[in-house]
Amino acid sequence: MNKRMVSILVVILVILGVGVHFYQQAADQKEQAGKAALYEVQKTYEAETTALPQAERAPDGALDVDAKYPKTVAELKKMLTEKKAPNSVLFEAAFKLGTLYLDHGQVTQAVTALKEITQFGKTDFQKASGFYLLGMAQERAQQFKDALNSFQKGLKSDVSGMNGEFLLGMIRTHLKMNEKEKAKLYVEKLNQEFPGSAAAKTAEELMR
């Protein structure tokens, strides 16, 4: 390799190195900005919670989320619509919006919000968590076929510690669809793969 070729390669490597540096710097700034925006949303949420009467602050009470948390919902939806933050931050935003609706019994809105979460999850754990929450919301909204589909996708993520819950979700859903024989198949699978687990015990109780 002659000196000219070596010089050209050195220049290319330097350019690539500078490009990677600035790309990483921009990505870091984007993530920090996204986290800062999410922190502001949390402050808004806490302020709106404080403004509620004490009786309405329970995390599992029925509530009109859009009416009681208008700024929180608006800020989260803006983040999810603009998609300026990295996926890790958008995952947290969709998670917060979906669980806010789900915790307060607004299952249809929860389903809509949690459908977003599945596109932002990148790790196996994020994907599994997203599909589990979405499946729960769909189950409560009586969208049973969609719930089964979400639980099945979650199972494919094969995240240790969650598969038992996915199987239990499928058992619950099949029972709500009056498909006891199909539910039995998943009970057997649950007992085989996770014998004596809390999920297996719950499944046995559901089948009585």
Query: Which residue, among 197, 172, 196, 176, has the nearest Cα to 186 in the 3D structure?
Result: 172
Q: Are 117 and 98 in contact (CB under 8 A)?
A: yes
Task: Look at 10 and 39; give whichever has higher pLDDT.
Answer: 39
CA–CA dist 22, 78 (Å, integer): 27
CA–CA dist 123, 119 (Å, integer): 11
* pLDDT tens-digit map of 149-199: 999 998 887 777 788 999 999 999 999 999 999 999 999 999 999 998 999
- The amino acid at 50: T
pTM, two decimals, is 0.78
Q: Are 67 and 25 in contact (CB under 8 A)?
A: no
Residues 6+ apart with CB under 8 A from 48: 68, 69, 70, 71, 72
The Cα diameter of the chain in Å comes to: 81
Domain extents for the chain? Answer: 33-122, 144-208
CA–CA dist 94, 119 (Å, integer): 10
pLDDT the model gives residue 24: 47
CA–CA dist 30, 187 (Å, integer): 45
pLDDT the model gives residue 76: 93
